[in-house]
Structure 1
Amino acid sequence: MRKKSILNVLSLTLAASVVATNFAAAADLRMSWWGGDGRHVATQKALEYCTGKTGHKVKAEFAGFEGYLEKLMTQMAGSTEADIIQVDWPWLFQFSKDGTGFADLKQFAGELDLTQWNDSQLAPATIKGKLNGLPVSVTGATYYFNDEIYKKAGIDTPKSWDDLAAAAKKLNPQGLYPFDSTRVILMLMIEAFTAQISGQEFVKPGTNELAWTAEDIAGALKHYQWMVDNGIVRSAKDAAGVGNIEIFDDPAWVSGRIGGTYFWDSTYSKYNDPLTVGKLVPAAPLQIKGAKSDGVYKKPSMVFSISKHSKDPKAAAQVINCLLNDKDAILILGDSRGLPASAIAKATLEAAGKLTPERLEGAKIVAAATGPVMSPLIEHPTVQELFKDVIEQFAYGQLTADEAGQEIVDGLTKALRRL
């Protein structure tokens, strides 16, 4: 079996080598991305390798997710963005409604081995016939639990919300919580709960018309309040006491006082690497009462795009090809951006035993889960800020669930007309 796997890698390597090897004169490029420390370190090492391979110098510009989009919007408006940009999939439709916001990667087939992606992978990043980015991985939102916390407490990994409520009774007296979320994660969970209740995406297919009702959203918020009331998660006030930070930077998370959370499987390393106690294991979707589906969102995760203002887009394409299709670069990057979409990347990591059981199991869970087709509109900044602001008002007791549900519906109805 292993021999067959290695042969597959070799054949894919030959396919990847079809791209041009006669590099242009050395170029000075910039590359921007977001992520946690694990991704930052791996990407810088891979860029160092690709610099030697291609002869092009690449200046690294990296940060956390918070604020990345705002900075990119400013750069794009002023035509000062990096040559190579890590872009969240829904942002493509904000920056490139007609497909001309980024360079068309189909023009660089001599530098990029596009055969490593199938048509269904490239289609979501293709706008008006122009390939605006290469999917780095495909991702879905799911639940992860710290195995050591539950093991020490003599509790099985939760399979339902009732399991989490029972776990809270045992963990809370020790100053532990079986689960938790930050502002962004909470928004994602409320959207997933609403998708479970309604059984559909938040807009009607092919339109900007809202499909969710105030009652659907209120039901999701009431479930979150039930989580707080049962000690499954900290109250918004208690969580805010540690400051406006990501959960993986929270000392309670790092030291093993929080038993789990909810995130995109492509960001596994960002949440798992900081742990000083235990490791994260994926769990099947948790359904709330009356759920019509798992409510699991799936999408291409970040893509690598090339600026249409780049002075040397061919050089940028060569660097991207090195990062995503070169066997040595693939091994350096590992699964720092999730399970790779590139066929040669996935095969290389599997043959080298670099994909952990947790990573593979998480991808399997996401692939098998049910949920609505994801509209990129749900990740539009206007939509996300409205959700986050109203959910926060509810979490602090300033609005009832019914009031918050109606306020979100009213706000979204107006916002979607303008998008």
Structure 2
Amino acid sequence: MGKKVKEQAPDEYLLIVPVGDIISLIRIYMAQKTGLCVITDDYKVNFDEKLAQEALEYLMKLYENGVLVPFEETVATPEVTESMLWQNSKCGMMISPSSAFSNVLKNSNFEIGHTSIPIFKDAKDTAVEIRPAQIMSIYAKSKHITETAKFLNWLLGSVEAIEILKDTRGVPANTVTKKYLEEKKIYDPIIADITNEAIKIAGKPPSDLSFNSEIEKIFEDVIGMVAYKKITPAEGAKLLVEQITEKVNELKD
């Protein structure tokens, strides 16, 4: 489809993906192939050089065929809605978590629909991620654990709190507050649809390690070098496996 778009409209692209979300594309590709997170919570790296090279070659194919907006252009405009290509309707699709979708709707001057990520026919997992926009915890040595727990229960599960917060925390996981936002039309119905459909085809829960900032930085750096053709996908794959494995062992110790 992306090649057809380019053939019929040379100045347009099927997909625009900001640099930070390119990591998600690679992660999704690998998870669908293996059925596992790229790194599981037992500190196991679940991809090898062969799969990493395959994923990077696939990414480069998307760039070279004009399916994806060029890497250097998305570096210049990290927010999709700031891109003139997007605002001028020169891109057909983007990738966005539901928690950020309301911002996309507000900052786009045209109607937007939604669909799930592409899933390979032989995929071992959908790799559709369902995770909270924010995570809260209570300090184990706090003198006020009970009071804090009561406050968080109110904050995350009461209609009173959601009347104050509205959709600032994204789509609530709590069914009572989620239903309230839908009934009051506080967020666009399309966001509720996205969340409900994602739940139906959700993949395995992503691990915390998969989103570790140091690990994501390694992915980002290697992807950048491959995208700028400073190294080949094969060289990038070798570097990725070496650096990720080293970092995971460091975190484990």
Which band: TM-score by shorter chain? 0.7 to 0.9
Higher helix proportion (structure 1 or 2): 2
| Aligned residue type for 1:378 | S
Instruction: Report the AA paired with residue 167 of structure 1.
Output: V
Listed as ranges, the matches of 1:238-317 within 5 Å are 238-240=73-75, 243=76, 245-279=78-112, 281-288=113-120, 291-305=123-137
Separation of aligned partners in 1, 2:72 and 2:172? 38
Secondary structure at the residue paired with 1:415?
helix
SS in 2 for 1:237: helix
Change (3 A) 1:330 1:266: same
CA distance in 1, matches of 2:176, 2:214: 37
Paired residue type of 2:124: K
1:388 matched residue in structure 2: 220
Question: CA 1:227–1:254 in 2, change beyond 3 Å: closer, same or farther?
Answer: same
Q: Name the structure 1 match of 2:200.
A: 368
| Structure 1: 4+ residue segments shifted above 6 A | 306-319
| SS of the residue 1:399 aligns to | coil
- Give the alignment partner of residue 327 of structure 1, picking from 145, 149, 159: 159
Matched ranges for 1:95-134 at <5 A: none
Task: Give unpaired runs (5+ residues) of structure 2.
Answer: none
Deviations 1:200-237 (A, max 9, x none): 22235x52121211111111111111211221112213
Separation in structure 1 between the aligned mates of residue 143 and residue 77 of structure 2, nearest angstrom: 38
Moved more, 323-332 or 222-231: 323-332
Q: Distance in 1 between matches of 2:200 and 2:231?
A: 36
Secondary structure (helix, strand or coil) at the match of 1:232 reads: coil
Q: Which amino acid aligns with 1:164?
A: G
Alignment partner of 2:114: what SS? strand
Structure 1 residues 361 and 227: CA distance shift in structure 2, 3 A: same
Moved more, 345-354 or 286-295: 286-295
TM superposition shift of 1:305? 4.8
Q: Is the 8 A contact 1:195 1:201 kept in 2?
A: yes
User: C-alpha distance in 1, partners of 2:46/2:240?
Assistant: 12
Change in 2 beyond 3 A, CA 1:207/1:244: same
Q: Does 1:347 align with 2:160?
A: no
Note if contact 2:182-2:189 (Cα within 8 Å) is conserved in structure 1.
Answer: no
* 1:98-141, Cα deviation, whole Å (9 max, x unpaired): xxxxxxxxxxxxxxxxxxxxxxxxxxxxxxxxxxxxxxxxxxxx
Residue 180 (structure 1) shift: 0.8
| Contact 1:325–1:344, Cα closer than 8 Å, also in 2 | yes
Cα–Cα, structure 1 residues 184 and 308, in superposed 2: closer, same or farther, change >3 Å?
Answer: same
Q: How many residues of Structure 1 are paired with residues of Structure 2 in the alignment?
A: 251
Q: Which of 234, 237, 249 lines up with 1:402 in the alignment?
A: 234
Give the TM-score normalised by the residue count of structure 2: 0.84
Q: TM-score w.r.t. structure 1 length?
A: 0.53
Q: Structure 1 residues 418 and 193 mapped into 2: Cα distance closer, same or farther (>3 Å)?
A: same
How far has the Cα of 1:239 moved from its partner? 3.1
Contact 1:164 1:232 in 2 (8 A): yes
* TM alignment of 1:181-220, pairs within 5 A: 181-204=17-40, 206-220=41-55
- Let me know the Cα RMSD of the aligned residues: 2.9
Q: Where does the alignment leave 5 or more consecutive residues of structure 1 unmatched?
A: 1-162
| CA–CA separation in structure 2 for the residues paired with 1:228 and 1:410 | 25
Question: Which residue of 14, 31, 43 maps to 1:178?
Answer: 14
- 1:379 shift after superposition: 0.9
| Candidates 148, 169, 181, aligned match of 1:337 | 169
Identify if the C-alpha distance between structure 1 residues 370 and 168 changes in structure 2 by more than 3 Å, giving closer, same or farther: farther
The CA deviation string for residues 284-312 of structure 1, in whole angstroms up to 9 with x for no partner, is 22035753332222223213456789999
Within 5 A, what are the aligned runs for 1:88-167?
Answer: 163-167=1-5
Conserved 8 A contact 1:195-1:371: no
Paired residues of 1:307 and 1:313 also in contact (CA < 8 A): yes
